[in-house]
Structure 1
Amino acid sequence: MVLRRFAAALVAVLALAGVQVVGAEPAAAAARILYYDASQAQEFVAVVNQGAQIWNSRVTNVQLLPVPAGRTPNIRVYADNGWPRTYTSSLGNGYWYMGREAVNDGYYPPRIAAHEFGHILGLPDRRTGLCADLMSGSSAPVSCTNPNPNATEIASVNRLFATSAAVPAREFVFSGF
């Protein structure tokens, strides 16, 4: 009861001071934007863009966009003759290689790109051998052409970025108890 009276008095004081006090629904957080630089991915630039688009069409809490001029990317993508691999510095930040060895062995390039972006988005390798699991990586058969994350992988990325999204400046409003 004392708490309610205090809240009512606080509202009255704030109103006298010209502060508008209203009940408000929590605003939905905007998707966190991660910028990637594929300029050093050589012949794989289009495949890298396709891998980003695959994630963008399936998750809501994060979006992968090509880095605009003058901005530092969160993610850098390279091409080399080795095996695909990713190095993360933190959630949503790092670099990865589109390795020609896997492509030459017959693995599907869009699946490789989506898989490596999956690591940047916080997903570990899961050696299930199932084509339906994007993060099964090379344990799935070479014939696997599924580049799409499954429902569990999508939910994991959305969960990881639900609380780490950059929150824009906004007005906080007292809504009572």
Structure 2
Amino acid sequence: MHVRILTGGLAVACLVSLSLTGGQASAAPRAAEAPLAARVLTYDASGSAEFRSAVDRGAAIWNGSVDAVELRPAAAGQRANIRVLADNGWPRALPTGLGNGTVYIGRQAVDQGYDTIRISAHELGHILGLPDRKPGPCSSLMSGSSAGTSCTNPYPNAAEKAAVEGNFGGALTGRAPALRAEVMVD
């Protein structure tokens, strides 16, 4: 048996319905439950310069790895949830809330030999609510630079996928996960 807590307008509508039927709840035919739609987050990579294809690939990796969220390029003139910029510093993410913020693809790490697609997927992971896991193995996307320049794995592991599913699955069901608002520098 599934128990659901109703909030807001739906709860009010159910209470009104019960009061109109004299408090007798009647079973309505149960429709098949549709799966929850992915939360769509848009990103603007127009400022990512030479890293544009790496950003698109990092977004595609997350799209292929999780169901609860989908990253899409923002349409022209659309305000994006995520801005992606290139600069000469170290890669970093500045989340402003779950699914929102700015990612910097820093040339300093690229010049040192770090993989651009791994950087992109890692920094997008911060926007999706994941913290750094340092030190860590190459199999952990969120191990970031601690895995070394030879690590080119851009894919989240099972725990990282599950954490993002939980973050956005929780958001879809009204349970907002905690997100620390801090700069994630890698």
Q: TM-score range by the shorter chain?
A: 0.7 to 0.9
AA of the residue aligned to 1:11: S
Greater Rg, structure 1 or structure 2?
1
Unaligned runs of 5+ in 1: 13-20, 168-177
Kindly tell me: are residues 48 and 37 of structure 1, through their superposed partners in 2, closer, same or farther at Cα, counting changes over 3 Å?
Answer: same
Deviation at 1:10, TM superposition (A): 4.5
Normalising by structure 1, report the TM-score. 0.82
Matched residue SS, 2:164: helix
The residue matched to 1:30 in structure 2 has which SS? Answer: coil
Letter in 2 for 1:77: V
Alignment-mate amino acid for residue 141 of structure 1? G
Name the structure, 1 or 2, with higher relative contact order (CA <8 Å, separation 6+): 1
1:29 is matched with: 36
Q: Deviations over 1:134-177 (max 9, x none)?
A: 0000111110011110000001001110021399xxxxxxxxxx
Name stretches of at least 5 consecutive residues in structure 2 with no aligned partner: 1-17, 175-186
Q: Is the 8 A contact 1:32 1:166 kept in 2?
A: no
Does the 8 A contact of 1:61 with 1:162 survive in 2?
Answer: yes
Aligned twin of 1:70: 77
Q: Please list, as runs of the form range in 1=range in 2, the aligned pairs for 1:90-169 lying within 5 A after superposition.
A: 90-165=97-172
Q: Structure 2 CA distance, aligned partners of 1:123 and 1:91?
A: 10
Q: CA deviation digits over 1:72-105, x for unaligned, max 9? A: 1000000000000000110000001000000000
Residue identity in the other structure for 1:139: S
State percent identity of aligned pairs.
Answer: 54
Aligned to 2:26: 11
Deviations 1:47-94 (A, max 9, x none): 100100010011000000000123210000000000000001100000
Structure 1 runs of 4+ off > 6 angstroms? Answer: none
Q: Which residue of 1 aligns with 2:63?
A: 56
